[in-house]
Structure 1
Amino acid sequence: MGFFTNTPSAQPPGLQPLTRDRVEAVLKSLDFEYDVDEDGDIATGFEDGVYWIFVDEEEGILSVRGQWRSILPGSMHAEAMQAAHEWNRERIWPKTFADLTDLQDVFLVTGYTVDYQPGVSDDQIEQHIRCAIGTSEGFFEALKERFPEAAAEYEEE
């Protein structure tokens, strides 16, 4: 019954607790450039997206959130939601959604979260970061094809 009561069990061999320091060490080993903000959140960027890596050491949760660099006008919110829905229907990850801000801008966002409460290897951290960013970049590439005007506008800046 311990599995369903969320009672921690012994850590499996070869796995260590998830820590921000371990995530940063993996990013360094991959030669990824990144910054850490005052809250300890990690930010990095790639061709089509900006990414935030959140580490909840207490709960053992690793979450990678991505945001497409292009911004759509609020009038395109329904179409952006449809693009996210189609991606989610056809693929397992990352989960995608369209966020309409108070300023009536639409941001297309990805999310990839993993529970490492039992522990994690460095190889697993690397694999999940690569997967989160790689599949997000795939979504953002598809968005460039679907919304070429928005992509071109960003590239001009």
Structure 2
Amino acid sequence: MSIDPSSIPSFGVPQPQPGPGQGGRPAGPPPIVVPDAKLVTQLLDQMQLKHATDEEGDLVAPWEGFRVYYMFRGEQKELFAVRAFYDRVYTLEQKPEILDLIDEWNRETLWPKVYTHTHEDGIVRLIGECQMIVGTGVNLDYFITTTANWTQASVGFEQWIVERLGLQQDIEDAEGTDGEGDAPSED
């Protein structure tokens, strides 16, 4: 099943919507499909996102500081999940502050729902997750729009947490170094 490029959200840039029967699609509701990795790959390609397949067969799109996984789970791959693994490390002492922040995020946004994962060595990391049941089929436009929105929201969370923790200057300083930990490079 091919994805109609006009159905992919533009995240702010209005796109003309074809009328009934236009745009290469017949009039009427979009088809119901059972999504699979091939469909998600087409969507990521059309969104122009760099991606790969990991050793478990899940699709992964990397960003600086986090990765977004697109995975199907269940005996018949009936559960589709978009899961973001954020690389920033927090200590156990920071966990109460982080929990307060992600509670705020989870109250104020629909997705991704974010939670902490504490490793055996005491390192705390954040994970964002969205899920939908797709085994009996889903409206193609709904699947495309939701997956694209979940991806954008995963990126948005990273920007939000950087802002809330006041880390923007630290990130800019790290990007401005010459790679050896010295002062920022001059332009």
TM-score by length of 2: 0.68
Confirm or deny that 1:135 pairs with 2:145. Answer: no
Q: Which whole-Å CA distance do the structure 1 matches of 2:96 and 2:149 have between them?
A: 27
Residue 150 and residue 102 in structure 1: after superposition, are their counterparts in 2 closer, same or farther (change >3 A)? farther
Gaps of 5+ in 1: 1-11
Residue 113 and residue 37 in structure 1: after superposition, are their counterparts in 2 closer, same or farther (change >3 A)? same
What residue is the counterpart of 1:49 in the other structure?
66
Mapping 1:1-157, distance limit 5 Å: 14-47=31-64, 49-56=66-73, 58-149=76-167, 152=170, 156=174
SS in structure 1 at match of 2:50: coil
Q: Give the CA deviation at 1:126.
A: 2.3
Q: Give the CA deviation at 1:67.
A: 2.2
Task: Kindly name which structure, 1 or 2, has the bigger radius of gyration based on alpha carbons.
Answer: 2
How many residues of Structure 1 are paired with residues of Structure 2 in the alignment? 146
Q: Which whole-Å CA distance do the structure 2 matches of 1:37 and 1:46 have between them?
A: 15
Give the aligned residue type for 1:62. F
After superposition, give the CA deviation of every residue in 1:53-110 in whole Å (9 maximum; x if it has no partner): 1123714221001122322222101111111111112222211112221121111111
Q: Does the 8 Å CA contact 2:113/2:129 hold for their aligned counterparts?
A: yes
TM-score by length of 1: 0.79
Give the aligned residue type for 1:18. P
Residue 139 and residue 106 in structure 1: after superposition, are their counterparts in 2 closer, same or farther (change >3 A)? same
Give the aligned residue type for 1:97. Y
Residue 108 and residue 151 in structure 1: after superposition, are their counterparts in 2 closer, same or farther (change >3 A)? farther
Q: Which whole-Å CA distance do the structure 2 matches of 1:49 and 1:26 have between them?
A: 20
Q: Which whole-Å CA distance do the structure 1 matches of 2:135 and 2:33 have between them?
A: 10
Q: Which whole-Å CA distance do the structure 1 matches of 2:113 and 2:169 have between them?
A: 21
SS in structure 2 at match of 1:113: strand
Percent of aligned pairs with the same amino acid: 21
Q: Which whole-Å CA distance do the structure 1 matches of 2:141 and 2:69 have between them?
A: 20
Give the aligned residue type for 1:114. M
Q: Give the CA deviation at 1:150.
A: 8.8
Q: Does the 8 Å CA contact 1:70/1:151 hold for their aligned counterparts?
A: no
Residue 25 and residue 116 in structure 1: after superposition, are their counterparts in 2 closer, same or farther (change >3 A)? same
Q: Which whole-Å CA distance do the structure 2 matches of 1:48 and 1:121 have between them?
A: 32
SS in structure 1 at match of 2:33: coil
Give the aligned residue type for 2:166. P
